[in-house]
A and B are shown apart, each in its own frame.
Chain A
Amino acid sequence: MTLVKIKLAVNGERIEAEIEPRLNLADFLRQRLELTGTHVGCEHGVCGACTIRLNGDIARSCITLAVQADGANVETIEGLVTSEELKNLQDEFYKKNALQCGFCTPGMLITAAELLKKNPKPTRNQIREYLSGNYCRCTGYHSIVDAIEAVSLTRGSNDV
């Protein structure tokens, strides 16, 4: 198969790679860059486990081709943890046990961060609605909603 060259930024690092055009972004991140914090749950864009940030917006890396990320700025759980952007959310998820197996967690955190950016004081229903593309089999969602709500209530509205 003919390989395609791509250049992109992943977690602030400049990456150049030669890839098969059919390679999806999730596999590129996990297999080529060893960023295994991005998980693959369904590979058809429903479960949300592979959620990453693409040019600032959340995206499903399993239904995004890596070639589509050429020239883009990609952020994964690893980068967002290093920058401490998710720290408040991580702390509340920890305190409220808003995760069990942890497979959905990176995607949940990234989705929750986007919600709080767009709507710093969401209602419980708004939180539930925003998370409705992220599947969790373990928690039943209640504690996840609790954790996000707790962050929204304690944060100043200027914080991200």
Chain B
Amino acid sequence: MSNISHIDLPNSYIGRSVPRPNARRLLEGRGRFTDDLKLPRMLHVAYYRSPYAHAVIKNIDLTKAIELDGIVAVVKGEDLVKYCDPWIGVLSHFPGMKSPPQFALAIDRVLWQGEPIVAVVAESRALAEDAIEHIEVEFEALEPVVNPETALEPDTPIIHRELGSNLMFTADVNSGNIDEAFNRADIVIEETFHYPRHTCVSLEPRVILADYDRSEERLTVYASTQTPYQMQDIYSRHLKIPEENVRVIANDVGGAFGMKLHVYGDDLATCALSKMLGRPIKFTADRLESFVTDVHARDHRISARIGVTAEGDILGMDIDDLTGVGAYSAYPRTSVVEGAQVIRIMGGPYRFNNYRAKLNVVFQNKNIMSQYRAVGHPIACAVTEAMIDRAAAKVGIDPVEMRKKNYVTSEMYPHTSPTGYWFEELSHYECLDRLLELMNYTALRAEQTECRKNGVWRGIGFAAFVEITNPGPAFYGVGGARISSQDGCVLRLEPSGRVRCMISVNELGQGTETVIAQVVASTLGIPLDQVRVITGDTETTPHGGAAWASRGAGIGGEVAMLAASSLRKNILKLAGTILQAAPDSLDIYDGNVVDHKDRTERLSVSEVARIGYFRPDTLPEDFQANLNVIEHYVPRKQPFAFTNGIQGSYLEIDRDTGIVKLLKHWVVEDCGRVLNPMLVAEQIRGGVVQGIGPALFEECVYDENGQMISGTMADYLVPMANEMPDIVVDHIETPTQLQELGVKGVGEAGTAGASAAVLNAVNDALTPFGAVVTTMPITPERIVEAIEKKEMSTHELMN
């Protein structure tokens, strides 16, 4: 028995689908979202935003606005500079990248439609908005840079002249001999893909409530953020307030998905205004502001080539990625990470030796583009998987066979990809086999054939994927970003014998607090309901990375286990002293200290706590109990972990209207050890729908003047229940051997592969027409156009 670790014991909570205790509060309407908070003397701020994509600010007239009732202050960019330092979204591990300083509010010129220019602080949001109507700004419009394709051409205006060009960053990957590989290839396929610019649309918009107290030089910020510690550092440095005097509290967060970890001018301006005025100020973005200021994502044009043998063996891939990321690089994580990941995730599941990629990241007069759920993955996966399907068709084999033929085989692990990524151990074959079983693939193909006979056009699409998780310091720290890759966990045995856990990975609804409680309870040997997990407050929890890049379960779980092991040791030491027994002859099981040998109950943990806190007089004079522990963990054995999996999509196309009906979606994923199968499945399902969105509906559409013309929820289509399919999820478990708990993470997996699966299924459905789509979102118009274009060219050929 001593060889069985606590997480494998029969009463362990690891691997059990326990519901989230904090869900009860949300189900009763007792959530505490930041906009729900009211503070004494609280003011509201609204922002006057640029109506132009690119313009010089000639004059700002605030005289009328400031005279209105209820207006406390009307503040321009230059008035805010002494309260808030500008920032530069550049990191040193992206050599050669450039971006200019960005100020909280625009000064002298505006670079995208929606950029904040003037802050109006008032007794209510409505009054602030009234005053905005009375602000007069004289602009001189400049030609905007809208299309990334022409951003680098000589006659395109340069947005930041001091940088010399519109090129923010460029990178190459070269491995093997790509020219030789393509010479050798029997089949070469070339295609260009467009992955749309889209955005987060978290249901709760960005909200921040900043409260600066001059008497103590103290700033408390309540914010809907996923990275309280990163923001504490930023507020401290940019507002020049000592770090220990800055407290960031993230109560309930109404969806974040990577969008709520960037620095936004209006957020920092709100904090600076609170410092300026010495009063609490709240900023709640409305939906229209969200569309033009929350970071956008993707916006990649990728030209791809794949070379294969006549038998279908992949010889090489050649990629050219162009992405337009807006007017500035986002701070503090930069806007080049997505492109950098696209060119390295490419081809992830497959074995091939020759790879070449070129990445250009360009400035535009559009809203800033940066990290959003599954950064880079959906694009790389869509391109890779579409090319695999095209190659399979050309070779004349089933897409399943093509994948089986080319996957990195089990005996090849650990494996380094030609793009430079290191994979410890992945389970592509097992995942595929399980998926085919779940889908009943043979029967599904037969059904598809039958349907075609009746003029019903159905398609089956696959998307194998790899997913980056558990990022270590290689991600941001090495580039100079003050973003922690370690997390900390404090565990306290309360006098009642219950346990309080204060941890730096936080809750955004994904279930972090629940899985952390599962790990703590299982490791300690106490019932789950005796663990209370506290997150999201820089004052009461240790500094850490918080929630991004699927790190909560993998890194947070590991540190929770370390802390629980420590506390367990201390409890047993105290129990051993009380019982006059050797600590290692004791164990904790179901809330009781027991004999290690046969689990005979000796005394309850609550009794141990009682004696430790209230009756130390009964213990030897030199004994000091320590019932508070802190541990830290940072993954150091690999730069980041990889998970894998595969998705399947089954859909039907209406040939006349081009409308796609999703019939079913399957995912088999391998996130290592599964802490809570239900929560993993729900991460996958939500992620899948976030990947289906841009595949079929979502796009930030800009006109030639740089105006976003899909900036309302009536114009920007998000997936709703009626269009979404049932999503079947299953798990394969290949725990990482590089961490004790073996957890890898799962936040990006659904989004990583879903759009690729849908794209491939659409093209499979279009096979009888010989039509192909490569631009997302795959709107009904694009499908009808693809079919008609093919019919037209066939018609011409016949004539």
Does chain A bind chain B? Answer: yes
Q: Which residues of A contact B (CB under 8 A)?
A: 20, 22-23, 30, 34-44, 46-47, 49, 76-78, 81, 90, 93-97, 99-106, 109, 124, 127-129, 131-145
Q: Is the CB of A36 within 8 A of B28?
A: no
Q: Which residues of B contact A (CB under 8 A)?
A: 19-20, 23-31, 33, 35-36, 38, 126, 200-205, 252-257, 286-287, 508-511, 678-679, 682, 685-690, 712-714, 718-724, 726-727, 750
24 contacts between A and B (CB under 8 A): A41-B203, A43-B286, A46-B712, A47-B287, A90-B28, A93-B27, A94-B19, A96-B678, A97-B682, A99-B23, A99-B509, A101-B202, A101-B253, A102-B26, A105-B29, A128-B724, A134-B720, A135-B713, A136-B721, A139-B682, A140-B690, A140-B750, A142-B726, A145-B721
Q: CA–CA, A132 to B27, complex, Å?
A: 20
Q: Is the CB of A97 within 8 A of B19?
A: yes
Looking at the complex, which one of B24, B126, B203, B727 makes contact with A103 (CB distance below 8 Å)? B203
Looking at the complex, which one of A36, A42, A81, A129 makes contact with B36 (CB distance below 8 Å)? A36
Query: Which residues on B sit within 8 Å (CB–CB) of A44?
Result: 287, 712-714
Q: Is the CB of A97 within 8 A of B511?
A: yes
Q: Is the CB of B685 within 8 A of A139?
A: yes
Query: Which residues on B sit within 8 Å (CB–CB) of A145?
Result: 721, 726
Q: Is the CB of A40 within 8 A of B35?
A: yes
Q: Which A residue's beta carbon lies closest to that of B685?
A: A140
Query: Which residues on B sit within 8 Å (CB–CB) of A99?
Result: 23, 26-27, 509
A137 to chain B, nearest CB (A): 5
Q: CA–CA, A76 to B509, complex, Å?
A: 22
Query: Which residues on B sit within 8 Å (CB–CB) of A104?
Result: 203
Q: CA–CA, A106 to B726, complex, Å?
A: 23
Q: Which B residue's beta carbon lies closest to that of A34?
A: B38
- Do A134 and B721 contact each other (CB < 8 Å), given the known contacts A94-B19, A140-B689, A143-B685? yes
Query: Which residues on B sit within 8 Å (CB–CB) of A132?
Result: 720-723
Query: Which residues on B sit within 8 Å (CB–CB) of A124?
Result: 726
The 4 closest A-B pairs by CB, nearest first: A37-B29, A102-B26, A100-B509, A103-B254
Q: CA–CA, A77 to B26, complex, Å?
A: 11
- Do A137 and B718 contact each other (CB < 8 Å), given the known contacts A44-B712, A143-B682? yes
A22 to chain B, nearest CB (A): 7
Contacts A97-B678, A140-B686 supplied; 16 other A-B pairs, CB < 8 Å: A22-B126, A40-B35, A41-B287, A42-B712, A44-B712, A94-B23, A100-B508, A100-B511, A102-B252, A103-B202, A124-B726, A128-B721, A129-B722, A134-B721, A140-B690, A141-B724
Looking at the complex, which one of B27, B511, B713 makes contact with A47 (CB distance below 8 Å)? B713
Q: Which A residue's beta carbon lies closest to that of B26?
A: A102
Q: Is the CB of A42 within 8 A of B713?
A: yes
Q: CA–CA, A47 to B25, complex, Å?
A: 21
Q: Which A residue's beta carbon lies closest to that of B715?
A: A46
- Do A94 and B203 contact each other (CB < 8 Å), given the known contacts A37-B31, A128-B722, A145-B721? no
Q: Is the CB of A135 within 8 A of B203?
A: yes
A91 to chain B, nearest CB (A): 9
Q: Is the CB of B721 within 8 A of A131?
A: yes
Looking at the complex, which one of B27, B203, B726 makes contact with A101 (CB distance below 8 Å)? B203
Query: Which residues on A sit within 8 Å (CB–CB) of B287?
Result: 41-44, 47
Query: Which residues on A sit within 8 Å (CB–CB) of B719?
Result: 140
Q: Is the CB of A135 within 8 A of B254?
A: no
Query: Which residues on A sit within 8 Å (CB–CB) of B24?
Result: 90, 94
B726 to chain A, nearest CB (A): 6
Query: Which residues on B sit within 8 Å (CB–CB) of A90?
Result: 24, 27-28
A119 to chain B, nearest CB (A): 15
Query: Which residues on B sit within 8 Å (CB–CB) of A131?
Result: 720-722
Query: Which residues on A sit within 8 Å (CB–CB) of B286?
Result: 43
Q: CA–CA, A101 to B33, complex, Å?
A: 10
Q: Which A residue's beta carbon lies closest to that of B714?
A: A46
Query: Which residues on A sit within 8 Å (CB–CB) of B726?
Result: 124, 142, 145
Q: Which B residue's beta carbon lies closest to that of A40?
A: B35
- Do A93 and B204 contact each other (CB < 8 Å), given the known contacts A141-B689, A142-B685? no
Query: Which residues on B sit within 8 Å (CB–CB) of A139?
Result: 682, 685-686, 689
Q: Is the CB of B202 within 8 A of A137?
A: yes
Query: Which residues on B sit within 8 Å (CB–CB) of A129?
Result: 721-722
Query: Which residues on B sit within 8 Å (CB–CB) of A77?
Result: 28-29
Query: Which residues on A sit within 8 Å (CB–CB) of B511?
Result: 97, 100
Query: Which residues on A sit within 8 Å (CB–CB) of B19?
Result: 94-95, 97
